[in-house]
Homo-oligomer: A and B are copies of this chain.
Amino acid sequence: MKAAVFVEPEHVGVREVERPRIEKPTDAIVRVLKACVCGSDLWWFRGISERPHNTLVGHEAIGIIDEVGADVHDMKPGDFVIVPFTHCCGHCEACEKGYDGNCFNMEPGGNAGYQAEYMRATWAGTALIKIPGTPADYTDEQIASLLALSDVMATGYHAAWSSRIEPGDTVVIYGDGAVGLCAVIGAKLLGAGRIIMMSRHEDRAALAREFGATDIVPERGDEAVARIMEMTNGAGADRVLECVGSEQSIESAVRSGRPGAYVSRVGVPHDNSIDVNALFWRNVSLTGGIASVATHDKSTLLKAVLDGEINPGKVFTASFDLDHVQQAYEAMDGRRAIKSMIDIAEA
């Protein structure tokens, strides 16, 4: 079968590889329909973070179950499913507490290679999210939104959810990438009264508004913080969602919160340093982390997509077939696409 592989920085290739097999009785094999490129993939694509060469890539997909292991009772071949980037057992303490992204039984390296014709999904009975009906029942826009539930929408929602938004809260969002845009949707779902998106890109700002942002602020750094203070009578925002992961962004986020604010991070952090005293002296809480995709999808997000209440699939502004996976990465790397979809197969 064909699969995307990381060849070397700036280069993702398509290779003929062996089709994955059921290795454990809790596995399933999924025939991938659509996959996509994540902002976090750009770190290794750009050579900033290490990744072994010639490894399979991609961690977001929707597809059709092709085969299930002996212990998978809740899914069967033919089922239409979301494949989250995490893969949770459903019964450990982390899963039970709603942090399935930290599942204690997650298989290291499990669920690799979603940008491929077939993939092995671990803990299939609990980790996969079953979509009612078949792909033919959905519009292209709905399909895109279902694909977004494999990571980006759940991650944006996780930012909002971790920050414990209360109805009417003023929420600031740093990061106008696909995750930050989905965080707008998350903040709105949770009842935020005012949603301020930090953005200086017209296309992203427009999508943020469409998703529910009430204000767009183009400033950065000190000027961004000053602007937020102006907009909140000098107090700061109730909640700040940090969807970038850089040191400047997290520092600005912390300074943008009021006393008692929650600053929630979902951007994969690439800097280790933060002035934790700045948190302490103002009672600002730092929260967030790896998203609980299965929990959020099953409790909230799948229904919201099926009801047409949210349309996170709009973050996909370009699509490519698997043979053009390199272009899919390049489009995001060059900021020509907010997020790239990869069409792998027809239903």
Contact = CB atoms under 8 A, between A and B. Distances in A.
Interface of A: 92-94, 97-99, 101-102, 104, 162, 233-235, 250, 258-260, 262, 265, 268-269, 272-277, 279-290, 292
Given A101-B283, A283-B288, A288-B283, A269 B277 contact: yes
27 contacts: A93-B233, A93-B258, A93-B259, A94-B235, A94-B259, A97-B258, A97-B259, A97-B260, A99-B258, A99-B259, A99-B260, A102-B259, A102-B260, A265-B280, A269-B276, A272-B276, A272-B277, A280-B289, A281-B289, A281-B290, A282-B289, A283-B287, A283-B290, A283-B292, A285-B286, A285-B287, A285-B288
B290 A104 contact: no
Nearest to A268: B280
A275 B272 contact: yes
Contact of A289 (B104, B265, B272, B279): B279
A269 B280 contact: yes
A277 B162 CA distance: 16
A99 B262 CA distance: 13
A283 B266 CA distance: 10
Contacts of A93: 233, 235, 258-259
Contacts of A290: 280-281, 283
A258 B94 contact: yes
Nearest to A234: B104
A100 to B, nearest CB: 9
Nearest to A264: B285
Given A234-B104, A258-B97, A259-B99, A280 B276 contact: no
A108 to B, nearest CB: 13
Which 5 pairs between the two chains have the least Cβ-Cβ distance? A102-B259, A283-B289, A285-B287, A99-B259, A93-B235
Nearest to A274: B276
Contact of A283 (B102, B250, B268, B284): B102
A162 B265 CA distance: 19
Contacts of A275: 272
